[in-house]
């Protein structure tokens, strides 16, 4: 596939690039700082651009089979003020149809599932700007007439395993919103599996280890 990745310099994004190349895909990493990516591969194209820029996206997107977004705000912004996810989703939802790309996959958060008790409530409060932004982002994506998939993982951890379980509409059985975890690499594996297999079209999917 020809994959277009947003957030390719981040922790999920780097794993996306790594697994996608290992699986033989053509990858375009659309990033604001190409110098942050030192990897070189004939199937990896580095394109400098702003994921909020509709015109830049529209001209870089044609010819791709799917867009995968793993953008995320800095921790400080997540607690103070951020509209990164809503604005980038809004730009993507305008640019994809213009460029004739139908498939869009994006990382959200399991905190948007109800429940989780007082600890989850506290997290939602502490991360209120990010929580609002995630909800607004999902609303933009869900309203778009494209084949979207929204992945909602719990807390992410560094590990090399690609193991995940996935359940549309909820975290998989036995998972706990506060104590369950998933590796950044497994989030990437889930998104790539869904893109390759045309799975979870127009679904919000809970994923965990
Ligand atoms: N961390 C967790 O435990 C957790 C749990 C559940 C869900 N999530 C979600 O998972 C997503 C990805 O997380 P992650 O940990 O992989 O993210 P990350 O490592 O912090 O990477 C964030 C990416 O977003 C880009 N970015 C940030 N601000 C930007 C801006 N203003 N303009 C353009 N690009 C910008 C960064 O690019 P630069 O390198 O150029 O800064 C980077 O590529 C996030 O949306 C987060 O909500 C995280």
Domain ranges of the chain: 2-208
Q: Whose CA is nearest to atom 29 of ligand 1?
A: 73
Classify 43 as helix, strand or coil: coil
In percent, how much of the chain has pLDDT > 90? 100
Q: Which atom of ligand 1 is nearest to the CA of 50?
A: 33
Low-confidence spans in the chain with pLDDT less than 70: none
Residue 50 has φ and ψ, to the nearest 5°, of -100, 120
- Residue 206 Cβ contacting ligand 1 at under 6 Å: no
Q: Which residues, in sequence order, are bridge partners of residue 69?
A: 6, 106
Distance of CA 138 from the midpoint of ligand 1 (Å): 16
Question: How far is the centre of ligand 1, averaged over its atoms, from the C-alpha of 72 (Å)?
Answer: 3
C-alpha 110 to ligand 1 mean position (Å): 15
Residue of 12, 72, 123, 138 to mutate, ligand 1, most atoms within 8 A of C-beta = 72
pLDDT at 140: 98
pLDDT of residue 71: 98
- Closest atom of ligand 1 to CA, residue 157: 3
Where is 27: in which H helix or E strand? strand 26-31
**What spacing in Å lies between the alpha carbon of 140 and ligand 1's midpoint?**
18
Indicate if ligand 1 lies below 6 Å from the C-beta of 60. Answer: no
Per-residue pLDDT, 54:
98
Proportion of the chain above pLDDT 70, given as a percent:
100
Q: Is 43 in the pocket of ligand 1 (CB under 6 A)?
A: no
Q: Which atom of ligand 1 is nearest to the CA of 78?
A: 47
Report the pLDDT value the prediction gives residue 204, as an integer from 0 to 100.
Answer: 98
CA pair distance 71, 92, nearest whole angstrom: 12
Tokens of 155: 């807390």
Tell me what pLDDT residue 133 has. Answer: 98
Is the whole model's pTM more than 0.95, yes or no? yes
Q: Is the CB of 10 under 6 A from ligand 1?
A: yes
What residue's CA is closest to ligand 1, atom 42? 10
pLDDT of residue 53: 98
Contact in structure between 52 and 88 (CB atoms under 8 Å): yes
In this prediction, residue 98 carries a pLDDT of 98
Query: Under CATH, domain 2-208 is a member of which superfamily?
Result: NAD(P)-binding Rossmann-like Domain (3.40.50.720)
- In short, whether 188's Cβ falls inside 6 Å of ligand 1 is no
Q: From CA 92, how far away is CA 98, in angstroms rounded?
A: 10
pLDDT computed for residue 180 by the predictor: 97
């Amino acid at each position: 596939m020809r994959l277009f990745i947003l957030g390719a310099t981040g922790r999920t994004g780097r794993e996306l690039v790594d697994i996608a190349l290992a699986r033989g895909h053509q990858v375009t990493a659309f990033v604001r700082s190409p110098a942050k990516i030192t990897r070189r591969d004939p199937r990896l194209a580095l394109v400098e651009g702003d994921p909020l820029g509709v015109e830049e996206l529209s001209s870089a997107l044609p010819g791709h089979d799917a867009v995968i977004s793993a953008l995320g705000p800095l921790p400080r912004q997540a607690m103070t003020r951020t509209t990164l996810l809503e604005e980038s989703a809004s730009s993507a939802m305008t640019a994809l149809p213009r460029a004739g790309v139908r498939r869009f996959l994006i990382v959200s958060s399991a905190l948007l599932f109800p429940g989780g008790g007082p600890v989850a409530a506290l997290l939602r409060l502490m991360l209120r700007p990010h929580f609002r932004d995630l909800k607004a982002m999902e609303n933009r994506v869900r309203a778009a007439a494209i084949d979207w998939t929204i992945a909602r993982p719990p807390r992410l951890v560094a590990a090399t395993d690609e193991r995940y379980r996935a359940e549309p509409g909820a975290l998989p059985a036995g998972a706990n919103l506060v104590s369950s975890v998933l590796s950044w690499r497994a989030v990437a594996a889930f998104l790539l599996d869904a893109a390759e297999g045309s799975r979870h079209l127009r679904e919000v999917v809970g994923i965990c280890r």
